[in-house]
Structure 1
Amino acid sequence: MTQQIIYKFFAAKEEVVHIELDFDEQTFQIQPRKDMEKPGWAKLSHQKCSNCPLGDDVEWCPTAVAVADFLPHFTEKFSYEKTVIEVETPQRTIITKSTFQTGIASLLGLVCATSGCPHTKFLRPLARFHLPFANEQETVFRSLAANLLRQFVENSHNGGQKPLNFDELNRNYAQLSIVNGFLAERLRDGVERDAALNAVIILDGLALITPENTDGSFEDLEDVFVVE
């Protein structure tokens, strides 16, 4: 069984870009089309991440393959081009007016988190409850809350009393930032214009924000709990 999320990009005098993403219902790992033609830049050995734990027995980078399934729609898009983006999930439909780089960043974040890359798996619970176009504060709140809840559930199941902290989350984001850098290098070989590349930069910027809020200051969340 699969779940589906659909992205549509509407731009003046252009055909609608329609992208259907299928996810395994149990694991929520993305399921690229089996008949897709994999480009050379999606091979694991091409711009392989310096922190990649996958061995030589793996031919294809799981994230690159998942991205390559939809990237041809955006190879000639400039980052600043305006578009209306519609995202349809099983629970709701979200529509926004923005730029192609913003829409691709949302799409990339979802695909990378669910691709099967060992360094993005920690984001998959958030991807299951996909929130397109989340701002910085929403991203920080969701990431920290999900991480604390995971630790609490694990403690409950294991009967343990491990202290709750963000050490592992910070390590995960540090590894993710390395992956984002190498992904950008891969995409340089797959696109002609900058929309997709700038989308990776946006994602990496969001990835850097969350660790900045784990030192106890929680600067981006100061007003979240103010109710009077």
Structure 2
Amino acid sequence: MPQTISYRFFAPKEDKVQIDLNFDDRTYKLQIDETADKPDWAKLSRNKCSNCPLGDDVEWCPAAVGVAQFLPAFKAKFSYEKTIVEVETPTRTVVTKATFQTGIASLLGLTCATSGCPHTKFLRPLARFHLPFATEQETVFRSLSAYLLMQYKKNHDNGEQKPPTFDDLNEAYATLSIVNSFLAERLRDAVERDAALNAVMILDGFALITPENTDGSFLDLEDVFLVE
């Protein structure tokens, strides 16, 4: 049974925009209708990421195809336009007042993480427990916690007792930042205004935050464990 997360955007004097994302229950990979539109800008060869591991036998960029399913609804939106966003997951509903760039950023992040892009797969466990509109501190806490748990399980399954490091996580986020820059170039061919482009920049900002906390200082988490 597919899992569904729905994003609904409400703006004054405009029709509601609803985006339904369906995910494989086991892998949590985004499910795309085979008959869905695939615009030219979503072809892998168009603004292909410089670090993309996919070969010429792959015609479409997985992340771009995912984004293409909802981008037309926002291509004429300015980043500063106000909206109310309602996000319904299988377990809860989150409602917030936001700008379109913030709402699209949350939707983009979920889509790219689950799209099947090789460079975003490390985010899929977080997507399974999607937290819309997470703050910087929440993002750092969730990213580091999930990664350490993954390392612990991997070492346990392999019968190893390696000390935890964040080297692979830092590399993954550095790679993700490159992906974000090329995704922004793709979207320039598909939008008329800046809401979606700024949404990618918001995502890239979050991609830079976590590595800044892996040197042992954990600056953004200083007060998280204070209980008195």
Query: TM-score when scaled to structure 1?
Result: 0.99
Structure 2 Cα separation of the partners of residues 96 and 58 of structure 1: 38
Matched, 1:129 2:129: yes
Q: Which segments of 5 or more consecutive residues in structure 2 lack a partner in the other structure? A: none
Q: Mapping of 1:1-228 within 5 angstroms?
A: 1-228=1-228
Q: How far 1:33 sits from its partner (Å)?
A: 2.1
* Contact 1:47-1:182 within 8 A present in 2 as well: yes
Count of residue correspondences: 228
Structure 1 Cα separation of the partners of residues 88 and 204 of structure 2: 24
| Residue type at the aligned position of 1:105 | A
Post-superposition CA distance 1:134-158 (Å, at most 9, x none): 0100000000000000000111111
Percent identity, aligned pairs only, is: 74
* Contact 1:33-1:69 within 8 A present in 2 as well: no
Structure 1 Cα separation of the partners of residues 205 and 8 of structure 2: 24
| Residue type at the aligned position of 2:37 | E
Q: Which segments of 5 or more consecutive residues in structure 1 lack a partner in the other structure? A: none
Structure 1 Cα separation of the partners of residues 41 and 20 of structure 2: 22
Structure 2 Cα separation of the partners of residues 199 and 140 of structure 1: 19
RMSD: 0.5
Q: How far 1:225 sits from its partner (Å)?
A: 0.2
Post-superposition CA distance 1:169-196 (Å, at most 9, x none): 0000000000000000000001000000
2:105 aligned counterpart, secondary structure: helix
Structure 1 Cα separation of the partners of residues 163 and 42 of structure 2: 40
| Residue type at the aligned position of 1:80 | Y
Structure 2 Cα separation of the partners of residues 10 and 196 of structure 1: 17
Structure 1 Cα separation of the partners of residues 154 and 90 of structure 2: 28
Query: TM-score when scaled to structure 2?
Result: 0.99
Structure 1 Cα separation of the partners of residues 190 and 140 of structure 2: 31
Q: How far 1:37 sits from its partner (Å)?
A: 1.4
